[in-house]
Amino acid sequence: MTLDAATLDMLFLNARTHAHWQDRPVSDATLQEAWDLARMAPTAANCQPLRLLFVKSAEAKERLKPALAPGNVEKTMKAPATAICAFDLDFPELLPRLFPQTDAKSWFAGKPEATEASARQSATLQAAYFLIACRTQGLDLGPMGGFDAGKVDAAFFPDGRVKSFLLMNIGYGDCAKLHPRNPRLEFAEACKIL
C-alpha cells in the first residue's frame, strides 16, 4: 500500500516552510491530534525525550521575544502558536515504564554526555515527526534555529533539566507570500547504495 498523490503533495511535495500567517487560530485539539500521531514514531529505547511547550498567549510570546534572532521576531510574534521543542535530561527516569523489557535506565546512570546526546538525537527526530504530523492535520509550520537557547531555557525551563533546541511556528500559512521553492539535492548527490 502507498499513499495517494494528494496526500504526498500535502505532506511533502507542496508543503512549504511558512513565515506569513492567515488570521486563523490553531486549536489545542488540533495540536493534540498531531501529538497523538507523532508520539507513535520511533525513539531510542522508546525514550520519547521531546517536550513541547506551545506558546500561544501574548504574555508568553513577549517572554519568548528577547530570545529570537532579529529575522525571526515578526513571523513568531504573528504566528498563532510557537512550539518550543526541548529535550528532557531526566528521560531515563521514565524508561522502566516506557521500555520495561530491560533495565535501560541503567545505561545512562552517571553518563551525562551520553544522556544528553541520546536525548538530543531522539528529540530531534520527534520534532521532525511532529512537523509532518501537523501537516496531516492541515497545519503549516516554520521551524527556526535562530534563537538563543540559553535565554529560552532561563525564561521557560528554569530547573535546568529541560533544554530547548528548536522553535516551530505553527498556523495556517499565507501561500500568496511564499517565495519560489529552492532546489533539492538529487538522489545521486546525497545518497549512495553499496
Ligand X SMILES: Cc1cc2nc3c(=O)[nH]c(=O)nc-3n(C[C@H](O)[C@H](O)[C@H](O)COP(=O)(O)O)c2cc1C
Which residues of this chain interact with ligand X, rule CB under 6 A? Answer: 16-17, 69, 71-72, 143-146, 166, 181-182
Using DSSP, state whether 114 is helix, strand or coil.
helix
Decide: 82 and 76 in contact? Cβ < 8 Å.
Answer: yes
Select 98 or 178, whichever has its Cβ closest to ligand X.
178
- Which residue has its beta carbon closest to ligand X? 146
Q: How far is CA 176 from CA 25, 26, 59, 82, in A?
A: 19, 20, 29, 21
Select 53 or 98, whichever has its Cβ closest to ligand X.
53
Cell of 145: 534555529
At closest approach, how far in Å is the CB of 68 from ligand X? 9
Decide: 25 and 150 in contact? Cβ < 8 Å.
Answer: no
At closest approach, how far in Å is the CB of 135 from ligand X? 11
Cell of 128: 521532525
Select 54 or 143, whichever has its Cβ closest to ligand X.
143
Select 25 or 145, whichever has its Cβ closest to ligand X.
145
At closest approach, how far in Å is the CB of 144 from ligand X? 4
